[in-house]
Structure 1
């Protein structure tokens, strides 16, 4: 990993940009954690990453009790990947979407100490990205409410820092802070598969599952639904890259990962994000190697 030296300048600062394309769920989460670690070690500058998913993938929040809420027979039925995130929040189905992540120091002059304010600043890039697609998005809660010291299915209800169109949620985001670094990542869906989504959660009856599924379409909406056009990963990448660079007043330079970097990412994926100990909170067997 190359060590970077960068100057913090509000108008001319250069961040790294990484487009890793489509990977399995464990690898995607390992890349985000590796970026967080490398930034904490001053090996890379603040970094914006875009990525996709090789297959439909359910990610659950760091503290989420999966035994109470997740229907694993549904995950098997649809051939989904399953992984626990570093970040909190509820479960998210990642499928036909662009996913972004940002790693930046908590001490960076652009990053407020308040969690809500930090979400607000970083999510301005989402707002600009949607608007560049002709979508008049806005924050779920007015700005005046954002700065006040706020179900298992993430997309059912918008959080205060997330985007809505006509009262319907259009993106989901999560955040954590570790080793002095803020990691925020989020889902930008082009379309939803509500049949698959609601097969992945436990309900007390099939009647309740269907009622919740029908309610979902009144609370969430995708880019394709709004515009009536089919979008691609590349189309969204261009729009939201422009959105983040404009809103954060940055320029970006490509970040190239070395073979050594990828070896570490794959090691992290195998020893952490693919393990039952991490994903299901199961106790390690005697004699097992700690990750």
Structure 2
């Protein structure tokens, strides 16, 4: 059985593995790619370290075997021992690649924040059930909102008096993570609805950076020295830019959505979000501005121009055609708003 696998290291190089499986062992293992490795002979050491291992070994086990086989003076640039393990696991599990899919790109009209949350669930489910192709959607919303993570406590996270004073909507999303105060035109939010095969063989943490690498390329093209900070932050030397959250659903698809600050109001954030007050209580508002540095101050561009660049880079890297939310998907999302997202049982599932 001949096996081939590839893994593009986020922020690094392409790792390619080829091997056969004989008597439930890896044989004829060959590593290649556009990475850098010194000295050259270390490539043979890596190949020898993997040959003979079980193809069902963990990513960590593959990485440990490589580390044990390499002398101290070896230098790996653009990849790591564990990234070789990821490439092997993706080969074994039949993971897909971005270009295996015909991506759809949606950028619809502004809607209620709660409807955006419902659309995320509806569209992720549709991708998992094969009713829609993998999709990138840019959010637009028509009023301020606080989005809290699936497992967060409302009373611990949100000052509801301040929330109501700002006519903001309280929305509990289906993904985990922290609370965000989001105003129209002040944030850039996008969601990816992807088949599980795209991140198969990766750890949960690795999948975050993998799914957002195209965003880092777009930000770099705008002059921002953006990097991914595990687990789920996009940041730069000037401050945090945004954060990601994920949800893997029963249909087999993955929801990955990200909010980046364009023109954040740090005062509003600390008034509406209780946790923001505690984190910043000894540092003041000026520190809040440093914590989440808006894209506007780093680029001088309009929000629309940044969104256009994001979509442009995505299409260049992964392909994609413009699409729309279907009438049936709108109907399903609106029903989900009434049956779930606006109910007290859901909003206050963790009081």
TM-score, length-scaled by structure 1: 0.79
Corresponding residue for 2:239?
Answer: 168
| Residues in 1 aligned to 2:175 and 2:201: alpha-carbon distance in whole angstroms | 18
Question: Does the CA contact (< 8 Å) of 1:112 and 1:118 recur in 2?
Answer: no
Corresponding residue for 1:124?
Answer: 213
Structure 2 residue 86 is the aligned partner of structure 1 residue 16: no
Corresponding residue for 2:74?
Answer: none
| Residues in 2 aligned to 1:205 and 1:33: alpha-carbon distance in whole angstroms | 31
Corresponding residue for 1:192?
Answer: 264
Q: CA deviation at 1:260?
A: 2.6
Corresponding residue for 2:226?
Answer: 137
**Cα separation, partners in 2 of 1:111 and 1:56, compared to 1, 3 Å:** farther
Corresponding residue for 1:273?
Answer: 341
Q: CA deviation at 1:133?
A: 2.0
1:31-85 C-alpha deviation (Å, 9 max, x unpaired)? 1100011111100111111012211111000000111221101101111111001
Structure 2 residue 188 is the aligned partner of structure 1 residue 98: yes
1:237-277 C-alpha deviation (Å, 9 max, x unpaired)? 2111123334xx42112233332321111111121111111
Structure 2 residue 248 is the aligned partner of structure 1 residue 177: yes
| Residues in 2 aligned to 1:213 and 1:10: alpha-carbon distance in whole angstroms | 41
Q: Which has the higher contact order (CA 8 A, sep 6+)?
A: 1
**Cα separation, partners in 2 of 1:260 and 1:113, compared to 1, 3 Å:** same
Corresponding residue for 1:114?
Answer: 203
**Cα separation, partners in 2 of 1:205 and 1:103, compared to 1, 3 Å:** closer
| Residues in 2 aligned to 1:188 and 1:203: alpha-carbon distance in whole angstroms | 19
| Residues in 2 aligned to 1:72 and 1:209: alpha-carbon distance in whole angstroms | 19
| SS at 1:160 equivalent | coil
Larger radius of gyration: 2
Q: Which runs of 5+ in 1 are unaligned?
A: 1-7, 141-158, 284-291
| Residues in 1 aligned to 2:181 and 2:148: alpha-carbon distance in whole angstroms | 9
| Residues in 2 aligned to 1:257 and 1:69: alpha-carbon distance in whole angstroms | 32
> Which structure's residues are more often helix, by fraction?
2
Structure 2 residue 270 is the aligned partner of structure 1 residue 202: no
Q: Report how many aligned residue pairs link the two structures.
A: 252
| Residues in 2 aligned to 1:265 and 1:251: alpha-carbon distance in whole angstroms | 27
Corresponding residue for 2:163?
Answer: 75
**Cα separation, partners in 2 of 1:210 and 1:75, compared to 1, 3 Å:** farther
| SS at 1:129 equivalent | helix
Q: Which runs of 5+ in 2 are unaligned?
A: 1-95
**Cα separation, partners in 2 of 1:72 and 1:264, compared to 1, 3 Å:** same
Question: Does the CA contact (< 8 Å) of 1:53 and 1:94 recur in 2?
Answer: no
Q: CA deviation at 1:12?
A: 6.2
| Residues in 1 aligned to 2:132 and 2:118: alpha-carbon distance in whole angstroms | 16
| SS at 1:68 equivalent | helix
Structure 2 residue 285 is the aligned partner of structure 1 residue 213: yes
| SS at 2:103 equivalent | strand
| Residues in 2 aligned to 1:258 and 1:160: alpha-carbon distance in whole angstroms | 33
| SS at 1:235 equivalent | helix
Q: CA deviation at 1:27?
A: 0.4
